[in-house]
Structure formats: structure tokens, C-alpha cells
Structure 1
């Protein structure tokens, strides 16, 4: 692409406000997925047994209704009896008792629960069987709720976005590299070579995708890299057809015939004339391919053939949310919301890039 064409495309894109809004949205989602899990205060794999399937809320946890059951479970684990519990602001005062003298080391379970800070023993009975303890109460926020294991859903969605975006971008890049090269060569060659290359493409189209993935699983273990290989091996087919069609249409134009008449090598014509003039449809198709790859990964993960624990993706979270739809609808709404926003933004950005990179446009849009 020439510098003049790049500058013209940049001006067109910056004047397209919906496309720039979509670009800003995508950058925001990518940035949130990269640094967000470090800012939520919850590791993605952290399980809170006391907060299973908690709904989305801006309120801090534990609430008054949650505090007593949590303390009762902790006392049971410490093999103590909870005689009394009173909350005073950000601190809780406990009276614990046992049939035998209490070893203060069992109080370490309080900070390990992630609900309370280090405890302080305020009073001890002479026989050591009763303790009065004070401990700070930590504030936990679950803005998008928790899942069936008690993990923070916001953190899980942001961590899953890293995997989903990685799969989408990597598979799309592979499809671009293979599909653009294959399609451009096929369109430039024409004749029998073009027909042969297209028949090979038809044979690959006829292979069932799920059967192909299952065959890979026979020899390799399911995981992220297997999803990348399987998706990249299939998604370049459409890109090759798009580039071939565009190249065939360009062969009849005057600038293309002039390059052939001047004796330019086929490789030079391919790089300087064919590929740059198909960038508009290529970019538009690529932006649509990213959400398609993410949805395809979701399908594989739903079948158990995609991303495996402890890693996760939007597809895995959507599959988990679908199974818990009646009891916890937010488990489906949260990852689906991220996916829908990403899909809409990519579609709108693709339209804007397709128009901005179209070399046949004679003037900038107003």
C-alpha cells in the first residue's frame, strides 16, 4: 500500500465516528482483559465457598445475613462452638468455646477464609475453653456475581477474554496468511492451475470439521493449541475464495493490463497491484472472522473439545451459563455480553475499514 493511499484511508477512518467508537470499544475490552484480572481483587481460580451463585450487586460482602453462616462453618472447621457473634462496623467480635482448652493456632483459619483479617484474642477463660476474639471483616465485591463454585464472574470473564481474543486473532492471522496467498496465486494463475487449486479447496470444504477435530484428538491432547490448529486449518478456505474472486475481477482492469504489458513479473504484480487492491474486502472479512472463530471455539468447548480447565474462555463460560440458566442467569448474561459487544464492535470496525481501504473511492466520506 502506498503512503498516499494509507494517508487517505486514515483520514476516511478517523472521520467515521461509529468506526472509531468501535475501535475504542475494542481497545477498551482488550485493555480490560489484559490488566483487569489484577485489579478486581479476586484471582480467577479463587473459590469462595460462602458465596456460591451470588447475584450481581454493588454491595460489599459478606452481608449481615451471610456473616453468621460463614462464621458457623469456620467454627465447625476449627472444631469450636460459636456462642456469640456481633459486628461493629468493619470488625466482628466472636465468643468461641470448646470442651477442651483451645489452641490459638486454630484461629489461622479465619484469615485463610479470605473473609476476615488476622484475629486478636481479647479474652481467655481461666480453663482455656472459652475465647473472645476480634477480627476485621474484609469487603468483597462481586459486580457480576459468582459462578457455581463461588468464583468471581467478572474476573473469570476478563481472564477468559484473553484466551478468546488470542484464539480469534491468531486463527484470523493464520487464515489471512494462508488464504490471501493461496487465493491470490490461484486468481493470478488462472486456467488449469486455478481450476486445480479450487478443486483442492472443494475437497477441503467437504471434510466435516468436527470429524477433523476428533481425528486430531486421537493423536494429540485437547487444549488451546489444538483449537488454534483446528480453526486455522479450516477458516482460511473462505478467505482464499474471497481473494481469488477479487483478483479475477482486477485482471480485467486497465492498470492491471498495463502492468502485464510492461513486462512486470507475476510476483511484482501480485504484491504491488493484486493484494493492495483487495485489502478492503480482506480487512472486512477478517474482522468478521474474529467473532466467527470465537463462536467456533465456543462450540468446541461446549463439546469438551476446546479449551480445558484451568484455562477458560468466553465459550466455556457461556456453556457453563447455559447449564445454569434457570438458577443463575447472570452466568450466561455476563460472558455473552462481552461476546456480543465484541462482535458488534468488530462488525462496525470492519465496515469502516472496508470503506476506508477501498482504493476505488474517489473522495473521502463527509
Structure 2
């Protein structure tokens, strides 16, 4: 009997309805995959997000190993110049390179350290020396590097950068949404439950904040404070709780006339306990749906502010910062815009589909 009651509970019915929403389930899987990739992916790409490869700048997306022959020759010429020598011959066989360096004066072997420092080559071994040290034959291991999404203007791996940026964008979306929920739910529940002049005054304050242009508000904050991730979180959370407050207030106005609220008053519970134990828990359905739809809006706001240079600042990065960098280099390297934009679009679409699915699953009129 207990199992039958549990199976017929509103939560169980909502979960069953959500499981039937294929779009919402697929969106949840995509979000889980993106979050997991952003969490552990940067350690699995083989590249540090800030590691630059000067000889591999603006590589297009490809599964081919780098450096290829053209970039290998350019890298050798650059490194030979630093060693104060010239490339006389270079024969590549798989991951091994037979390199011949020549110079007008004896070559200082200490300069060979530039080869492994480039991260394109391993530690060279001197196979032979002639002409009094002015000609060296080296056996140099060649590293095989992969950049599935290409590299940026500084030669940094774009996949690693997108995954690290996703941590910031998702964290901003979740933290700002959580702050907006805490403020909006508390504010709306108090306004709706107390009612009267207090409710009118509190909601007029909300209307006044609605009238304040968001970008102007952010610029005003930047006049007095230095742009930072924390400041952006404060700016977004300061305005995104307004919709939540209105949603919770509307629900509270209905709930405060219910019999269970009257019974709680008759038992002598204070208004604060009634709000915390009876009003707020019964608004969680609409709040959960609104929160799911609020996260993508916050992420989009963060991307918009970062695109304008008002959000995340170096050395941190986000999808908005990467999109801004890609927009500046769109003619020479369109992949720099496409990669972070694909992550952002996939996340926003998935969150919206999940929100729609939750709305249908939590609707008591659904079958």
C-alpha cells in the first residue's frame, strides 16, 4: 500500500511526465555532457588553456596532427635564428627529425634548449659534429599535437579555452540565478502574504527597478568599481530577481487564502513560519520552471556584457569573451567564433527545452 501511494505521489507523477518528454530528457543529457566536459575536459585535452604555440596560430579545426610540414619548416627557421644558426637540411620520418644546422661560428649547444621549450619538439640528441662545431646533425623527436577546434590568435588550444570558459559562464548562470531566487522568493512571498499597503509599496519599488536600464546600471557600477566577475554577478543578480518576485507574489496571493494557511494561523504559527513552511514550499513548482528559464537568460546576459568588455576580464575567460575575440578575427579565422558560439547555443537551447519540459511535467492538468 505504501508503495502504491508513493508511486501516485505528485513528485512521482511529475517525474514520469518529465521522462516522457523526449526533448527535455535529451536536453538534460546534453547539459550533463557539457557540464562534465567543462569540469574535467581541460585536463584531458593535452593542452593548458593559457599555453600558447607561436608557430601554430589560428589553426582551423582539424583532427590532423600538428605541426604539419609547412608549419614545421617555419618553426625550425624561427628556432634556428634564435640559436644563431641556419637550417641546412631537415628530413622528417614519422615522429623523428634529422636536422642539420650550420653557422659561420661554432654553434653554442646551450641554444638547443629552445627546441624543447617550443613544445613542438623533444630533447635533441647530437648525432654528429663537423667543421669545428659550425655544423651539427641532430636527431630531434617531433611531438604530435591535436587541436580539434583549432587555435586562437595567440596559438592557444580553442577546445581547452572553450571548456574553461564554460566553467565561468555556467558558474555565473547558476550563482546569479541562485541569488535571484533567494531574493525574489523571499521578497515576493513577504509582499504577497502581508498584502495591503506593504505589498503596494514593495511592488512599486520593483516597478521602479524595472524602469532602470540594465546596461546603464552596469556602466554606472563600473564608474565606481573596477570591472570583475564579482561585480558582474552583483549587477545581474540585482535585476534578475524582479521577475521571480512577481511570480512568487502571484502564487502567494492565492495560497494565503487556502485552508492549510488558515489552520496554521489557528495553531498560532507566526507569519515567518507560515511563509517558510507552507507558502514557499508550495511555490516551488513555478519557481523551478522559472529558474530553469532564468539560467540561460543570465548566461546570455553575461555573454553580452563580456562581449561589450564589461564582464569577465583577463586572465579569466568566458564564452562571451571568446565570442568577442572570434568576432574580431572572423574573416581570418571564423572557427574562433564558431566554437564558443556552438557551446553557448547548445547550452541555451538545452536549458530552454528543459524548462519547457519541466513546465509541462509540473502542470497538474497534464495526464
TM-score tier after normalising by the smaller chain length: over 0.9
Q: CA deviation at 1:84?
A: 0.8
Alignment match of 1:121 (pick from 121, 126, 137): 126
Question: How far 1:272 moved relative to its partner?
Answer: 3.8
Cα deviations by residue, 1:54-87 (Å, 9 ceiling, x for unpaired)? 1000100111222111111111111111111110
Ranges in structure 2 where 5+ consecutive residues have no aligned partner: 1-5
Which of 247, 256, 263 is the equivalent residue of 1:242? 247
More displaced 10-residue stretch of structure 1: 244-253 or 339-348: 244-253
2:108 alignment partner in structure 1: 103
1:164 aligns with 169
What is residue 205 of structure 1 aligned with on the other side? 210
SS in 2 for 1:146: coil
Q: How far apart, CA to CA, are the structure 2 residues paired with 1:263 and 1:355?
A: 37
Q: Residue in 2 aligned with 1:31? A: 36
Deviation, 1:321, is 1.2
Can you list the C-alpha shifts for 1:275-304, whole angstroms capped at 9, x where unaligned?
233222211111111111111112211222
Q: 1:145 and 2:157 equivalent?
A: no
Work out which of the residue numbers 69, 85, 97 in structure 2 matches 1:92: 97
Equivalent-residue separation in structure 2 for 1:104 and 1:111 (angstroms):
13
Answer with 147-156 or 4-13: which moved more.
4-13
Query: Secondary structure of 2:133's partner?
Result: coil
Please report the TM-score for the alignment, with normalisation by the length of structure 1: 0.92
- Distance in 2 (CA, whole Å) between partners of 1:228 and 1:85 is 54
Query: Counterparts of 1:126 and 1:327 in 2: how far apart (Å)?
Result: 45
Contact 1:280 1:356 in 2 (8 A): no
Runs of 5+ in structure 1 lacking a partner? none
Matching of residue 40 in structure 1 with residue 50 in structure 2:
no
Query: Are 2:206 and 1:190 equivalent residues in the alignment?
Result: no
Q: Find out whether 1:58 has 2:63 as its counterpart.
A: yes
Q: Is the CA contact 1:324–1:331 (under 8 Å) kept in the aligned structure 2?
A: yes
The residue that corresponds to 2:359 in the other structure is: 354
Structure 2 residue 321 is the aligned partner of structure 1 residue 337: no
Contact 1:280–1:355 (CA under 8 A) maintained in structure 2: no
More deviation in 160-169 or 255-264? 255-264
- What is the alpha-carbon root mean square deviation over aligned residues? 2.1
**Structure 1 Cα separation of the partners of residues 277 and 355 of structure 2:** 23
* Cα distance in 1 between the residues matched to 2:267 and 2:228: 52
| Secondary structure at the counterpart of residue 243 of structure 2 | helix
Cα distance in 2 between the residues matched to 1:324 and 1:260: 64
Classify the secondary structure of the residue corresponding to 2:26.
helix
Q: Secondary structure at the match of 1:166?
A: helix
User: Which of 286, 291, 299 is the aligned partner of 1:286?
Assistant: 291
Once the two structures are overlaid, the 10-residue window that deviates more, 346-355 or 123-132, is: 346-355
The reply on whether 1:233 has 2:238 as its aligned counterpart is yes
Give the length in aligned residue pairs: 361
Q: By how many angstroms is 1:262 displaced?
A: 6.7
- What secondary structure does 1:61 align onto? coil
Q: Which residue pairs with 1:22 in the alignment?
A: 27
* 1:65-80 mapped onto 2 (5 Å cutoff): 65-80=70-85
Q: CA deviation at 1:89?
A: 1.1
> Would you say the 8 A contact 2:82–2:111 is kept in 1?
no
Pick which of 208-217 and 126-135 moved more. 208-217
Deviates further, 16-25 or 343-352: 16-25
Matched-pair contact (CA < 8 Å) for 2:52–2:155: yes
Distance 1:19 1:273 in 2: 29
Structure 1 residue 276 and structure 2 residue 299: aligned? no
CA–CA distance in 1 between the matches of 2:345 and 2:304?
Answer: 16
